[in-house]
Amino acid sequence: MTATIVAVCRSRSHSFSKPNELTIRLVAGLGVEGDAHMGETVKHRHQVAKNPRAPNLRQVHLIHEELFAELAGAGFSVGPGDLGENVTTRGIDLLNLPRGTRLRLGADAVVEVTGLRNPCVQIDRFRAGLKEATLGRDATGAVVLRKTGVMAIVIAGGDARAGDAIAVELPPGERLPLEVV
């Protein structure tokens, strides 16, 4: 199966969900044009409160469409943009990519995966019980998997739209696992 973009989304406000768009423009070093999380420094409200000068490692949020089918099996109706992602993908195992993986979105845009998104209480405000459904736990109850996608920075700008192919370029050298950013 070829990896593809299913949907692209953005929101000028810090709303939880993001409306679907026909096209989004990714801007190198900044993020998605017209999105509240665009910028060189962190824009996530919780992280701004801790250190407003920290680099923005969350310029673009990507979620795999396959998660929506898994959640539907647990009784949750979730679609593209509902969980605040900018890019919904199909056919790529986002959660198991190593840190530093580059994804070419369409003809020109390139993003570099920086880490995992940590599901927060806002997910339960969107749908009660959804946060727990997006976590994988071991026998002791410890979180071993966060399923709500990955975060990335924009390396090369360009437009992205539903139907565009996604090409994967793994980083050279040691393959470091993703951590929460």
Residue span of the structural domain in which 145 resides: 4-169
- Give the Cα separation of 128 and 167 in Å (integer): 35
In a domain, 59, yes or no: yes
pTM: 0.96
- Give the Cα separation of 81 and 162 in Å (integer): 12
In a domain, 79, yes or no: yes
In a domain, 179, yes or no: no
What's the total number of domains in the chain?
A: 1
31-32, strands of its sheet edge to edge: 31-32, 23-27, 158-161
Q: How far is CA 102 from CA 23, 109, 166, in A?
A: 20, 10, 10
Q: What is the pLDDT along the chain (181 residues), one digit of tens a residue?
A: 799 999 999 999 999 999 999 999 999 999 999 999 999 999 988 888 889 999 999 999 999 999 999 999 999 999 999 999 999 999 999 999 999 999 999 999 999 999 999 998 899 999 999 999 999 999 999 999 999 999 999 999 999 999 999 999 999 999 999 999 9
- Give the Cα separation of 41 and 52 in Å (integer): 7
Report the candidate in 68, 84, 62 with the shortest Cα–Cα distance to residue 5: 62
